[in-house]
């Protein structure tokens, strides 16, 4: 285990720095965005994203957040419909009950709801965007971020044929991405990784199983050690720590946990058990900024590297990820990617772009640092719900 060290974050807007925010209303909007190409994991294949956007109003400002739940319970039990239900009937009434004094206050109001981290995160993101706007600072400054550019990699889904995958690897390396991550599953793993490594012996390469394997596959997974991978992400079940610890003891390659880490408590337990050496922080998966920051601080204090995972977010979620990834503990390239990686047109202006050196600029403008393309969002909206403080 890496040596612990003290970390003291400075400048976070966790308590409100002025008067509490009296929220006036919350809007839940479902927006259908077509993907530029299908994206397949061991769990599902997507051709479009039904994005859940939340907008929170206060003091003449609008804070935007995104809920990363899918239409089907593949990655998580949460879905678009569970998120709408939980926000409408439980989280929104708690948020609107009285003025919010800070992020921890809001997170505490949601604590009575078991699980449903993605729904909680959407509201925490919207609130933090509001708070940053009121203080006239960027999201990164609000979170005490330190970087003005973050390194990024790309996640490549399972393809019909190996040549299709190799073509995508070549294309994204040419675009500057610093790390290639391959989705794997049984029958699409060792031989595929071997060929990618043979053709690209020096690239930073990792794999992501999305819980497709079990402890019975230890000997098979050990074959991945020969390819010099940065990490093997989430090989076992979503709720498992113990079997991951057993696997890590047999591997020279670092295990990275994703689905198994749903908050700072499970992150601490994973590190204590030796279940992983790297943690992927997805702000939606862990329930919002309060938990994401706590996990970051824990890992940084222990010298454990973290990186920012992606969930095929629109530009709104992508902007929040950029702000989070500007914190000092995010030392590995994240799955943030350019807008054009997934969408022909994004919901923010300008679109997120990756520079030739494989980095993305962290916006320095107030709030998200991007303009919200409200007109395009309206055209792509499928349904909209409004929950007002006076009418709830």
- Over residues 98-110, mean pLDDT: 95
Question: 391 pLDDT band (50/70/90 cuts)?
Answer: low
The DSSP output letter for 87 is I
Identify the CA nearest to 2 among candidates 278, 248, 229. Answer: 278
Token pair of 323, please? Answer: 């702000």
Q: Are 283 and 125 in contact (CB under 8 A)?
A: yes
Q: Does residue 351 surpass a pLDDT of 70?
A: yes
Distances (CA, A) of 166 to 81, 173, 210, 234, 343: 37, 11, 21, 23, 21
Task: Give the DSSP H or E segment for 29.
Answer: strand 25-40
- Over residues 352-367, mean pLDDT: 96
Token pair of 200, please? Answer: 């690209």
Q: Which one of 120, 181, 183, 185 is the catalytic residue?
A: 183
Decide: pTM greater than 0.85.
yes
How would you list the strands of the sheet with 381-388, edge to edge?
Answer: 61-67, 45-58, 25-40, 381-388
In three-state secondary structure terms, 372 is: strand
Separation between Cα atoms, residue 331 and residue 308, nearest integer Å = 10
Q: Does residue 392 surpass a pLDDT of 80?
A: no
Q: Does residue 68 surpass a pLDDT of 50?
A: yes
Q: Does residue 1 surpass a pLDDT of 80?
A: no
Q: Per DSSP, what are the bridge partners of residue 21?
A: 100
**pLDDT score at 54:** 98
**pLDDT score at 7:** 58
**pLDDT score at 390:** 73
- Over residues 266-294, mean pLDDT: 97
In the residue annotation, 185 being an active-site residue is answered as: no
Identify the CA nearest to 151 among candidates 340, 308, 319. Answer: 308
Q: Per DSSP, what are the bridge partners of residue 31?
A: 51, 381
Distances (CA, A) of 35 to 156, 244, 312: 14, 33, 9
Distances (CA, A) of 260 to 58, 141, 279, 329: 35, 29, 10, 20
B/e letters for 80-101, b = 16+ CB within 10 Å, e = fewer, are bebbbebbbebbbebbbeeebe
Separation between Cα atoms, residue 88 and residue 74, nearest integer Å = 23
Separation between Cα atoms, residue 244 and residue 240, nearest integer Å = 7
Identify the CA nearest to 326 among candidates 288, 296, 354, 358. Answer: 296
- Over residues 111-124, mean pLDDT: 97
- Over residues 366-377, mean pLDDT: 96
Q: Which one of 120, 181, 185, 282 is the catalytic residue?
A: 282
- Over residues 182-205, mean pLDDT: 96
Q: Does residue 282 surpass a pLDDT of 50?
A: yes
Q: Over the stretch 23-56, which tens digit does the pLDDT of each residue have?
A: 999 999 999 999 988 777 767 688 889 999 999 9
Separation between Cα atoms, residue 13 and residue 140, nearest integer Å = 10
Q: What's the mean per-residue pLDDT of the chain? A: 93
**pLDDT score at 276:** 98
Q: Over the stretch 298-341, which tens digit does the pLDDT of each residue have?
A: 999 999 999 999 999 999 999 999 999 999 999 999 999 999 98
- Over residues 266-295, mean pLDDT: 97
Question: 16 pLDDT band (50/70/90 cuts)?
Answer: low
DSSP string, 202-232: TSEEEEE-TT---GGGHHHHHGGGGG--S-E
User: Residues 34, 51, 111, CA angle at the centre, nearest 5°?
Assistant: 160
Question: 17 pLDDT band (50/70/90 cuts)?
Answer: low
The DSSP output letter for 330 is B
DSSP string, 257-281: ESTT--SHHHHHHHHHHT--SEEEE
- Residue 8's contacts (CB-CB under 8 Å, 6 or more residues apart) are none
Q: Over the stretch 206-263, which tens digit does the pLDDT of each residue have?
A: 999 999 999 999 999 999 999 999 999 999 999 999 999 999 999 999 999 999 999 9
Q: Are 100 and 127 in contact (CB under 8 A)?
A: yes
- Residue 202's contacts (CB-CB under 8 Å, 6 or more residues apart) are none
Q: Are 365 and 183 in contact (CB under 8 A)?
A: no
Q: Does residue 268 surpass a pLDDT of 50?
A: yes
Q: Are 254 and 205 in contact (CB under 8 A)?
A: no
In the residue annotation, 282 being an active-site residue is answered as: yes
**pLDDT score at 5:** 54
């Amino acid at each position: 285990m890496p040596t612990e060290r003290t970390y003291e974050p400075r400048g976070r807007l966790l308590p409100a720095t002025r008067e509490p925010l009296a929220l006036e209303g919350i809007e839940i909007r479902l927006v259908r965005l077509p993907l530029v190409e299908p994206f397949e994991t061991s769990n599902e294949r997507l051709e479009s994203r039904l994005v859940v956007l939340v907008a929170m109003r206060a003091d003449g400002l609008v804070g935007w957040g995104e809920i990363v739940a899918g239409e089907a319970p593949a990655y998580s039990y949460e879905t678009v419909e569970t998120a709408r239900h939980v926000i409408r009937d439980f989280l929104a009434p708690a948020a609107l009950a009285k003025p919010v004094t800070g992020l921890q206050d809001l997170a505490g109001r949601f604590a009575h709801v078991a699980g449903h981290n993605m729904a909680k995160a959407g509201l925490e993101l919207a609130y933090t965007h509001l708070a940053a706007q009121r203080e006239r600072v960027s999201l990164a400054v609000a979170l005490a971020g330190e970087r003005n550019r973050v390194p990024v990699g790309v996640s490549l889904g399972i393809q019909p044929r190996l040549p299709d995958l190799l073509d995508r690897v070549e294309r994204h390396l040419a675009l500057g991405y610093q790390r290639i991550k391959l989705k794997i599953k049984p029958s699409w793993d060792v031989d595929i990784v071997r060929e990618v490594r043979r053709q690209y012996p020096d690239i930073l390469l990792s794999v992501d199983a999305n819980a497709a394997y079990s402890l019975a596959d230890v000997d098979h997974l050990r074959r991945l050690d020969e390819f010099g991978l940065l990490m093997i992400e989430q090989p076992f079940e979503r709720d498992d720590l113990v079997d991951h610890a057993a696997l890590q003891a047999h591997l020279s390659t670092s295990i990275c946990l994703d689905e198994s880490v749903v908050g700072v408590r499970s992150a601490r337990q994973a590190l204590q058990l030796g279940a992983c050496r790297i943690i992927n922080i997805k702000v939606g998966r862990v329930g919002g900024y309060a938990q994401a920051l706590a996990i970051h601080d824990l890992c940084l204090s222990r010298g454990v590297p973290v990186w920012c995972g992606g969930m095929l977010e629109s530009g709104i979620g992508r902007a929040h990820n950029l702000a989070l990834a500007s914190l000092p503990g995010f030392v590995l390239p994240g799955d943030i990617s350019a807008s054009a990686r997934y969408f022909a047109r994004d919901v923010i202006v300008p679109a997120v772009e990756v520079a030739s050196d494989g980095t993305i600029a962290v916006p320095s403008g107030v709030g998200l640092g991007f303009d919200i393309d409200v007109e395009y969002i309206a055209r792509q909206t499928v349904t909209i719900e409004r929950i007002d403080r006076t009418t709830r």
